[in-house]
Amino acid sequence: MASLAVPLRASATPAIAGTGSGGGSRAADPVKVSCVRSKVTCGFPSVGASSSLASSVEPVRATATQAPLATHQSSSTEKTKVGINGFGRIGRLVLRIATNRDDIEVVAVNDPFIDAKYMAYMFKYDSTHGPFKGTIKVVDESTLEINGKKISVTSKRDPSDIPWGNFGAEYVVESSGVFTTTEKASAHLKGGARKVVISAPSADAPMFVVGVNEKNYNPSMNVVSNASCTTNCLAPLAKIVHEEFGIAEGLMTTVHATTATQKTVDGPSMKDWRGGRGASQNIIPSSTGAAKAVGKVLPALNGKLTGMAFRVPTPNVSVVDLTCRLEKSASYEDVKAAIKEASEGSLKGILGYTDEDVVSNDFIGDTRSSIFDAKAGIGLSSSFMSSSLGTTTSGATATGSWI
């Protein structure tokens, strides 16, 4: 849903002076790149699509302050019917996003812990994104009406008991955070769903990042993963840098907004002692598999990236800092130019680029997966650089340049 961009530290954005082919067998110097991420779409562009996901994404402007939430315009009057399992942070935001799409209709929501009245309340009021701009009312204990359209509500604990077929739901967004393996998520198919999109990383389901590897999707795949917000932030950046200059190896650090699993005050957390400390009081080191997951969507980088996370006391938007050693010699200006070109071309609407003096709050509500911050990166030499990406997480887990 979460659906990342990477900010780089530099000033101007000059035209590319060449990708730099020198360096022979010697790997280029490290480059630091930062990205910001702000996408929580759970792969909606791919739902029911036979063509490239990237081509279906509505383009947005390139700077952080000029990226409005775009309403998707479909040439077809037929809508894709979607069900949502898990009406937490991601599930609610998926529904909000769907209300701005004319090609998607959410027909049912399942959550065993929330009744219809509480669903309506949680959907209407959002501490990060503000009140819902449309209309919502509770018709009865099993029906909500949003913007005049009725949505069925169920409270089944077992996914196989949810009658998706009765509601006409062909695709299910699995956003409970519980059923993240192919076997567990496949339970939705027993209720009549045709396809399942897991809104989190999966141990065994095929993983896709829009703009990176969605063309590898095969219609025979009934359960897929949309990866994590951090992976969605990092992967588009890594793709461009690797294609243009080659990444020999790299380390990623994500400065991550607070997530729902953290504690408001110190509390028990047996598997992660530091994770049990008060979220609003501490910077908390944590593990993340986002960098390694990039190797699953970009096999050429498998084993070349790893990283860690720091959870910080902010409610939304995270940043990914990527430091990598390049295979080809290049200046930081070359790297910026390549990323800017991609943000205006092949990855427009997915990877953003900004050279403005922005901060994390400037990306709240940004629909792009990742935003590269040109002033948040630096190059040590012609083969060693660091850059930052950011994305908004809308309260969900996120990492990346501006996430």
The residues assigned a catalytic role are: 229
SS (H, E, C) the chain: CECCCCCECCCCCCCCCCCCCCCCCCCCCEEEEEEEECCECCCHHHCCCCCCHHHHCCCCCCCHHHCCCCCECCCCCCCEEEEEECCCHHHHHHHHHHCCECCEEEEEEECCCCCHHHHHHHHHCCCCCCCCCCCEEEEECCEEEECCEEEEEECCCCHHHCCHHHHCCCEEEECCCCCCCHHHHCHHHHCCCCEEEECCCCCCCCECCCCCCHHHCCCCCCEEECCCHHHHHHHHHHHHHHHHHCEEEEEEEEEECCCCCCECCCCCCCCCCHHHCECCCCCEEEECCHHHHHHHHCHHHCCCEEEEEEECCCCCCCEEEEEEEECCCCCHHHHHHHHHHHHHCCCCCCEEEECCCCCHHHHCCCCCCEEEEHHHCEECCCCEEEEEEEECCCCCCCCCCEC
